Chain A
Amino acid sequence: MELTDKQTQFQQEMREFCEQEIEPNAAQIDRDGEFPADVINKVADRGLLGMVAPKEWGGLGLDTVSYAIAVEEISRACGSTGITVAAHNSLGVMPMVLFANDKQKNEYLALLCSGKDGLCSFGLTEPDAGSDAGATKTTGVRDGDDWIINGGKCFITNAGVCKALVITAKTQKIQGSRGISSFIIDRDTPGFVIGKKENKMGLRGSDTRELSFENVRLPATKMLGNEGEGFKQFMIILDGGRISIGAMALGLAQGAYDSCLKYIRENRKSLINSQAVQFQLADMHVKIQCARHLILHASRLEDANQTFSVESAMAKLYASEIGTEVARTAMQIVGPDAYSSELPLERIYRDVRLCEVGEGTSEIQRLVIARDIIKCDLS
């Protein structure tokens, strides 16, 4: 299936924008390890911080296909910017779109889509609750009209640059993953401490932090959706988020492939006559196209309001694994020059590693897919 004219045009606009405004900064962003505020401002000016929100709430109201295209193009230019935009849209804005009441939407959505007062993060992972996110130890205890939150989170993207976060906490003492609820928490809430920035292998411009909650008092109006729905909510959020991590991996893979080809053309023309290299390029190309088709397929299902959780798991699993393979093969073809930051390849190789881990590791994706195949609970 082809992209619609509108989607094709959007893709071309994104390519141009990313090549002009993002890519030239990518090496510097990685080197400095600073959050790319200037770039994100430009992204915000184009409305790209509200891609997944409907127009009436201040978003662009894009379909999922276009959103995936945007994340791919941004990540092709710069992984750090890619994850920043993907996490904000899929994990920050999306829960508000899907689960917030009108009052909450009024308070937050347009503001978050504009990015004027900061981004939105999603705080799910804890030191002891990663793949097993249902094992959340952060607690919310009712106190009159309020909730008192205690505990902590880790590896939270955009935490240091956010206006607000969606977090999960255990509010009912029931075994297992039930009894988890979601809350909206403002950056400057007393008792809420945002820790220091993590020093990471890649995506070094992306802001990843620890959070801690010490008797944080939240009014009941900050609960997102109903009590006890947290687990169900984040499963839905991660289904969509996986499309964006897949798209991010795809963009990084495409970036590695393009950079490898450019290197051959400009520096080692003789390599193009090598059958070994030709076949490697062919394999890379096939893998990238397969990943793109899987991502498009999952996106179209979401756009058609059909279930897509297995398809998004497949897309994310495949795109992230071939992302690493493609980046590695590209480096092998280029050789020692690929080891230096003068080419984007080593940065892409470090950036793409996250895609096999974030928003559900490859093993968790395989569990999701296998569970669907066998149609029974495997855990």
Chain B
Amino acid sequence: MDFSLSEEQQMLVDSTRIFVREKLANRTESFNSYDPALLNEIANLGYCGVTTPVEYNGAGFDSLCLALVVEEIAKVDPAMAARIAETAGPVQHALITFGSEQQKLITENLAAGTKWGTVALWEPEMNQLTEKMCTIAKKSGDSWVLNGTKSHVINAPNADVYLVVAAIDNSDSDDSWIAFLIDKNQSGLHFNQVTATAGTQPLSISHLEFENCKLPKNSVIGTVELGKQIVKSIIADTHMLLAANALGVAEGALELAEEYASVRVQFGKAIVSFEAIRGMLADMAAHIEAVRLLVYRAAEKRGDGKLSAMAKLVACNTASLCVHKSNQIHGGYGYMRDYAIEFLYRDQLFSELFWNNPNQLRSEIADAVTQNS
């Protein structure tokens, strides 16, 4: 078993690290949206097309590369990491895997970062797949009519295209789903931004409302029969990338803790010399190391629902542990908004609370392991 990164992977990590240091660190209080120039730079660096095939304008790297980029960026800016992950991960992956030739062409724009994409799957009353989906797609002649609400869509107001999943009207089973690619300017589509979130403000998390949205036939992704498979692919990809995000947050928190503990002096010595502080740093480092292997494995096995769920469950737990310990090591200073750990402490909640929560992940993993036995 070889745990080392390939040359290509390591180069990507190194260059991303430099970019992150230079352009994304030093966040300020008015952190609500991104400078278009910064987004342009991200686009030009190709971060939105890490795994997109070369013929569609992407870099054609493997899926671990995407996880590595998300991890590096999340060390200082989990919101940016999530924004990139959403468009570069599940949206493009679904289009490339299941989409029509015309839809695949749209990934060219997404990969180039000239357009952004996001997923609209969950609903106010549907937070896991076992619950009933209430956004309904009704066939009307050759086209479809969409009605319903999707909740907590990340980056919604800034996205140009949405991957929307709906239940097919009047079908026999609760899980006959259909996926659409919908343009931002679609008539009948309304946004409703969630009021003040605890962290990751630039993600502008919003609810989407579809009111008699008339969708042409060619906006369906794949075929009606593929709906369930598309949903599974989206969920696995998103969980894997949220796990990479959490891993990055954990590492960012550890880096800040190491730095701070070595300069902060109390009782005549740097606090890093206290065993209690050293123990916290060690716990963080050990958990991160374990999580990293799991996350990378899930990334390599892109699409593996069980591994992705495991990675998200464990990575979010570790991220929570790390931001907590790191904030504690910062003492009163960690409570002040001029310290990077203060941001991370709040941003960490994003990967933990969004998509499946720990109980749901456990249930998914339990299903998978009991089926195997």
Please list the residues of chain A having a beta carbon within 8 angstroms of any beta carbon in chain B.
31, 125, 128, 130-132, 135, 154-155, 198-202, 268, 270, 274, 276-277, 280, 324, 328, 331-333, 335-336, 338-342, 346, 349-350, 353-354, 356-358, 361-363, 366, 379
Contact = CB atoms under 8 A, between A and B. Distances in A.
A339 B197 contact: yes
Nearest to B130: A270
Contacts of A362: 328
B331 interface: yes
Contact of A201 (B122, B274, B331, B337): B337
A357 B332 contact: yes
27 contacts: A31-B196, A131-B267, A131-B331, A132-B267, A199-B29, A199-B336, A201-B342, A276-B359, A276-B362, A277-B359, A328-B320, A332-B353, A332-B357, A332-B358, A336-B151, A336-B152, A336-B205, A339-B197, A339-B205, A339-B354, A340-B194, A340-B197, A349-B198, A353-B327, A361-B331, A363-B277, A363-B328
Given A335-B353, A353-B327, A125 B332 contact: yes
Interface string B298-335: 00000000000000000000001000100110011011
Contacts of A335: 127, 353, 357
B50 to A, nearest CB: 26
A358 B332 CA distance: 7
Contacts of B352: 331-332
Given A201-B335, A336-B354, A324 B324 contact: yes
A12 B312 CA distance: 43
A339 B350 contact: yes
A95 to B, nearest CB: 20
A356 B196 CA distance: 25
A363 B329 CA distance: 10
A350 to B, nearest CB: 7
Contacts of A202: 335
A135 to B, nearest CB: 8
Interface residues of B, number: 44
Contacts of B152: 336, 339
B196 A341 contact: yes
B117 to A, nearest CB: 20
A356 B276 contact: no
Given A336-B353, A339-B205, A199 B198 contact: no
B349 interface: yes
Nearest 8 A/B pairs, CB to CB: A346-B198, A341-B196, A199-B337, A276-B359, A336-B152, A132-B266, A340-B194, A132-B267
Interface of B: 29, 122, 127, 131, 151-152, 194-199, 205, 265-268, 274, 276-277, 320, 324, 327-328, 331-332, 334-338, 342, 345-346, 349-350, 352-354, 357-359, 362-363
A138 to B, nearest CB: 17
Nearest to B337: A199
Contacts of A357: 328, 331-332, 334-335
A363 B276 contact: yes
Given A336-B205, A339-B152, 7 more contacts: A130-B332, A132-B266, A276-B363, A335-B127, A346-B346, A357-B332, A379-B267
Contacts of A199: 29, 336-338
B349 A131 contact: no
B335 A353 contact: yes
Contacts of A276: 359, 362-363
A200 B336 contact: yes
